[in-house]
Amino acid sequence: MNSFNTIAILVVAYLVVFFQATFNEFRQVLGVQVDLLPSLVVYAALSSGVITLTLVSVLGGLMLDSLSTNPVGISMLPLFVVGLLMQRSKEFILRDQPYAQLMLGLTASAAVPLLTLLILLNLNVRPLLGWFSLWQWAVMTAAGALMTPVWFACFGWIARSFNYLPVAEGGYRPDREIKRGRQ
């Protein structure tokens, strides 16, 4: 797409990480810190190129890890892998359908924490795991799934508001000759 879309996605990624770090009501009520970056990576993968996807994965992952107890850089690879898999098959995905967006957000929001956990276990880091972790994983997955269609709607509105609209084609066919004058 264009650089405006990339900048808008990166600004929203910054705002999402800021929101996750400062808004503690979900954590107090449900016991879960909601992660919205996987759903944003789904939008970036399906609407932009690999460069935007890489920027969102790397910068978003670094911002998220700098404000959490994760080792710095641990979230970049899962975000990028999930986004790249979706970006590689975006021709086959019905990305304009809200149900498909919901399912893709569900898949990404479920896969990213599992991949992060797998990397943490391979680094001999002892994460806190228990039965409550399944509840946290389910709530994070549901929140990411519900948020993915919202990203598509919001960025669609931004694109309609700030980008030029395509010009409608004329009513004549360009392969026809128009004869002017007397007949």
Each residue of 44-70: b (16+ CB within 10 Å) or e?
bbbbbeeebbbbbbbebbbbbbeebeb
Is 180 contained in some domain?
no
Nearest to 152 by CA among 15, 42, 18, 4: 42
Q: How many domains does the chain have?
A: 1
Please report, as a single letter, which amino acid is at residue 51. Answer: I
Is 167 contained in some domain?
no
Tens digit of each residue's pLDDT (9 = 90 or more) over 111-136: 999 999 999 989 888 888 889 989 99
Tens digit of each residue's pLDDT (9 = 90 or more) over 19-69: 988 888 888 888 888 899 999 999 999 999 999 999 999 999 999 999 888
Is 171 contained in some domain?
no
Is 76 contained in some domain?
yes
pLDDT of 104? 94
Mean pLDDT of the chain: 89
Is 175 contained in some domain?
no
Tell me the whole-structure pTM to 2 decimals: 0.86
What stretch of H or E contains 44? helix 37-47
Residue 78, domain extent: 3-160
